Chain A
């Protein structure tokens, strides 16, 4: 084999550069596949930060890279999701630099109804698993709502049917939130309207509805697709106002029907669910009123009848009295006469009265005899005797009194003389006569101890016939003798020490 690429025999293909070939391929591919529709399953789907969406389309044997430019995403009918069976519309472009090609997708659609339903089923299962369709969470509708919110197209038969049915049954205040019910804008608008109604505050300028109807007429699966949108389903689930869904015909079931509190087969049926029939209520009220009145009337009639019955059974007053009156008369006849009752007592009284004066006289006589007897013992001689005996006893005592007093007085006088004599012999003055003297300090108290006298102390000496003053010798201490020149009283006093 030759290292030089000799042109094989019989061919005259020109030699191309890589760029030339790449350009050629690009031209060929982009011309040939300038507009293609490709059916496949979506593989990995990536929404890039830059806003573009990168994805793979695949089947059993091949994979095709695809891109949806940011500008195209808003116009898509569906939002790509891995696993969706789709038909992508677009064109092939190449990357010469990497020897790659890709499909630039301009539109995506589900690949037929089967693919759409498979997609729907997946979403339904996912939301059901989250509990968005929980039957226990469904709220009862108000019995008589005053305000009803309707989310639907402002034009067409649906809103007219609802309004007509409401007017027929029970006219109320209706707030219509106009939305697109088809196309890519439908789902976001419906979701926004539901959330918008729920955001209304009670008592605000826009009255808060007590029930919502989300309605759309019949259509193809694709037409109703917006009501399968996850955003719509979540808005219904989150809404605190009870929601009636009425989308499509009875045979069409969209996911909003699972999330709504009630599902109506048609918009008219939704109106019927929302309000009762006023005429029926009026009739019902009239019926209850009539029953109320007749019940009371019936009751009064029964009670009146019973009153009359009972009254009839009552005996007549005169009958009750007559029996008793008769008994009274009989008893009265048997009563003894008062005069008869007192006759015996009166006779007894008369008898006793006749005995009364004689008894009284007897009692007075007895008392008088007793009086006489007692006054006989009450004589003056008896008293005089007692006085005389008393006087004699008094004279006896008086004669003994004077000598006794004299004796007592003499004895006391003797004792006094003896005591006086004893006092004279015991006094210190008698000892002064015998040559003793009493020394007194300056304060007049008797001095008994030499130690209590200090030098120069003025003292007084009491003799039998009077007192003389002196001053002790020395100064300060009693034990220290003072000079002979010291005392003003002279040596007579000093010689004492």
Chain B
């Protein structure tokens, strides 16, 4: 069973992997030792996903364009008014 590094996984991939873990566990076909390893991997995946969701925060900036208008030279606070 190949196990990519969870820390590098996208939310979507981690969630899909968690789905697979849950289905394997629910299927009840895996040996007990392996189930415990799966369970722990599921825990790590859940924590990873939760981390991605927890960091969510709305931050709005506007682009300050260069004189030519086609390059972003920086950002400034944005107020939609």
Contacts and interface: CB of A to CB of B under 8 A. Distances in A.
B77 to A, nearest CB: 11
Indicate the member of A200, A282, A296 with the most B CB atoms within 10 Å: A296
Nearest to A170: B56
Contact of A299 (B35, B50, B52, B75): B35
19 contacts: A143-B12, A144-B10, A155-B80, A155-B81, A170-B56, A171-B58, A171-B59, A175-B63, A175-B72, A177-B62, A192-B68, A192-B69, A195-B70, A281-B11, A284-B15, A285-B46, A285-B53, A296-B25, A296-B35
Q: Which 5 A-B pairs have the closest CB atoms?
A: A171-B58, A295-B25, A143-B12, A192-B70, A177-B63
Given A144-B12, A292-B42, A178 B58 contact: no
Interface string A155-196: 100011001001100111111111000000000110011011
A401 B37 CA distance: 118
Nearest to B39: A296
Size category, A interface: 35 or more
B57 interface: yes
Contacts of B52: 144
A205 interface: yes
Size category, B interface: 35 or more
Contacts of B71: 196, 199
B26 A154 contact: no
Contacts of A172: 56, 58-59
A167 B25 contact: no
Contacts of B32: 299-300, 303
Given A171-B57, A172-B56, A296-B36, A291 B26 contact: yes
Given A199-B72, A206-B72, 7 more contacts: A144-B10, A174-B58, A176-B61, A192-B70, A281-B15, A285-B49, A296-B25
B19 A174 contact: no
B4 interface: no
Given A154-B78, A299-B25, A288 B53 contact: no
A296 B33 CA distance: 11
A188 B68 CA distance: 11
Contact of B46 (A197, A289, A298): A289
B60 interface: yes
B62 A154 contact: yes
Nearest to B71: A196
A448 B49 CA distance: 134
B46 to A, nearest CB: 5
A482 B46 CA distance: 143
Given A166-B58, A206-B74, A288-B19, A196 B65 contact: yes
B22 interface: yes
A302 interface: yes
Given A155-B81, A189-B69, A296-B35, A174 B59 contact: yes
Contacts of A177: 62-63, 65, 72
Contacts of B49: 281, 285
Interface string B16-41: 00110110011010001001100100
Nearest to B57: A171
A170 B46 CA distance: 18
Contacts of A200: 72
A166 B58 CA distance: 8
Contacts of A171: 56-59
B37 to A, nearest CB: 11
Given A205-B74, A295-B26, A298-B28, A160 B15 contact: no
Contacts of A292: 18, 21-22, 25, 39, 42-43, 46
A196 B71 CA distance: 5
